[in-house]
Structure 1
């Protein structure tokens, strides 16, 4: 059983749930600043609260650093490096600047341990299904285009997902970002893995409530000769739209039925997978912790395979460099202070009927 310590109790709560639920992991403690909330967290999980890396016992094998990195003005990278120097494997929550990643990889190599940046979202079950389906497309046909939208705060993992879709990050490029008055999204043309990409990014943030007020997290479509594969939302579902193509008869008219139109006898949209999207309660309690557990398993595979560490490290550097280039293009986010959004009752939408 690998003993794991989690640093941070804000988003770190997801990591605490992940480690606590994993059969092959043991939560050894929490590293935090000693606030009342952190003490309550430690009591709730029945583990000790540590005030510094030096206080963590020597039998801890893995540390999850869920504290803001230097890229966001936090101490997360310093904590990661302190653990790495102690010979502890480290999973650090994104975003992390490429220079910090490079330094962390050097320290990890010197101490023969694994280090990884967790972008989380590529490990979500619906995103994994989407990536697996995209791999089927890529192996059979050329990917012709990608259309992607996200909030700027989750652009870092979006780039990770796009690179996995296309089979590699390079070649990549970002065009000029364009925005208009009263338009919440900026748009740009880009290229990832040699595939043309249209990006739409909601580059807005509420200064007093930065984790809310996104219109969406991620929405991605990828098209090829055979059709369009879509991730309707970060949390699913995955949709397949086979391309509409009707043969013509001897008069030149499109054929809509009969022999020769077998390709039309398929659903116009197919939901891939049997797992329906869950509630946001389930997202927080199940889907995200499951993704963290997947990331920890990947870290431990890398710990056992030095060559994988190098490959994963280069990938993490590439994603971070792309993110820096993208943020330079879109600039600082617009500060907005909208009121709390008014929910629309699902029953009202389900009751809608088509008009004559």
Structure 2
């Protein structure tokens, strides 16, 4: 089985890629880190026993795959330019989101001209609870059309949020945003339709410039509302909850007594956590869950490269995702810059003590 000789570009979030690829020596050979030569980059190269490259010109000619984990052009970085240069050198590219739709189309065009594969990474879609939610939503969609969708997310992770939404719906053929509420707290509220289904986006649109990847009130929380109930991805890391719709037949009141026999559907519990779920620490999320999700993206890319899987549909979905994301970001406007942020900790044990004290 041929291993893909792989390099990682970027040493911040790129550390998850380094860890993921180093764990799968059957499918990947981690050959180096492309970074600016900071102390952090030197530590990464030393920790994983790989060579540190200050630019792609110094890369060996036999590199198969590059994971570009740098800010793209739309975020003021040079990730997209680097991805294009790598593809022109005959290297397949897996690039971290978000990517502007025009840049994304250009990347796919470059990949075709260079006879390589290109793909955007989205570890969130590979997370266990997200996959559970999308599978359940797809099954419910086959039975009933959603009556309403609510999406809550942070602006920093809105791009993968759209990808999760697209997977849950199966496909999105048309969309429109009709109204917005801004400057009324930390969340921007957008409303519109996705394939004629009413949808509301509640987006936390604040950024602390000194630490832009933190201080989000949430990552993702998505609810699909049906005539039969409500399916909710409570958090990016779960749980997935099913709330059957409450229905009390008028016939039950006719008997003049609230006790007695009830129909089977009223014996269902009012809320169910679907599948096996156990909350895990943020430490385990970083060390295991995120790393495994990143590896899932890399293995998907490997399938395109070695098995020459047809990825035309995937490319079309990615472009549509980028277009929807771009429209949403335009409507929600620039993020509000906030100051003097610090991390606050309240443990579940503290809250449980409040409950116990009240009993």
* Aligned-residue offset at 1:133: 1.0
What's the CA shift string for 1:56-105, capped at 9, x where partnerless?
22222111000111111211112111221222211100111111111110
What's the CA shift string for 1:114-134, capped at 9, x where partnerless?
111113211111111111111
Partner of residue 97, structure 1: 100
Change in 2 beyond 3 A, CA 1:251/1:224: closer
| CA distance in 2: counterparts of 1:27 and 1:190, whole angstroms | 45
Partner of residue 277, structure 1: 279
> Structure 1: where are the runs of 5+ without partners?
none
2:42 matches 1:39: yes
Q: Is this contact kept in 2: 1:156–1:319, CA < 8 A?
A: yes
What secondary structure does 1:177 align onto?
strand
2:338 matches 1:328: no
Partner of residue 219, structure 1: 221
* Aligned-residue offset at 1:305: 6.2
2:50 matches 1:61: no
Change in 2 beyond 3 A, CA 1:180/1:79: closer
Q: Is this contact kept in 2: 1:189–1:199, CA < 8 A?
A: yes
Change in 2 beyond 3 A, CA 1:288/1:253: farther
Change in 2 beyond 3 A, CA 1:296/1:213: same
2:89 matches 1:86: yes
What secondary structure does 1:108 align onto?
helix
Partner of residue 120, structure 2: 117
Change in 2 beyond 3 A, CA 1:253/1:67: farther
What's the CA shift string for 1:317-348, capped at 9, x where partnerless?
11111111111111101111143132113211
What's the CA shift string for 1:200-228, capped at 9, x where partnerless?
11111112121111111111111112211
Change in 2 beyond 3 A, CA 1:352/1:83: same
Change in 2 beyond 3 A, CA 1:246/1:109: same
Partner of residue 209, structure 2: 207
- Which of these residues, 232, 235, 249, is aligned with residue 234 of structure 2? 232
- Which of these residues, 314, 317, 320, is aligned with residue 319 of structure 2? 317
Partner of residue 147, structure 1: 150
Partner of residue 303, structure 1: 305
| CA distance in 1: counterparts of 2:312 and 2:331, whole angstroms | 29
TM-score of the pair, normalised by structure 2: 0.93
| CA distance in 1: counterparts of 2:59 and 2:230, whole angstroms | 50
* Aligned-residue offset at 1:257: 5.5
What secondary structure does 2:214 align onto?
coil
| CA distance in 1: counterparts of 2:286 and 2:258, whole angstroms | 46
Count of aligned pairs between the two proteins: 355
Q: Alignment RMSD, CA only? A: 2.0
2:68 matches 1:48: no
| CA distance in 2: counterparts of 1:208 and 1:19, whole angstroms | 30
| CA distance in 1: counterparts of 2:222 and 2:169, whole angstroms | 13
Q: Is this contact kept in 1: 2:4–2:302, CA < 8 A?
A: no
Q: Is this contact kept in 2: 1:130–1:238, CA < 8 A?
A: yes
Partner of residue 20, structure 2: 18
Q: Is this contact kept in 2: 1:7–1:32, CA < 8 A?
A: yes
2:74 matches 1:76: no
Change in 2 beyond 3 A, CA 1:193/1:50: farther
Change in 2 beyond 3 A, CA 1:180/1:75: closer
Change in 2 beyond 3 A, CA 1:89/1:250: closer
| CA distance in 2: counterparts of 1:335 and 1:27, whole angstroms | 38
2:168 matches 1:165: yes
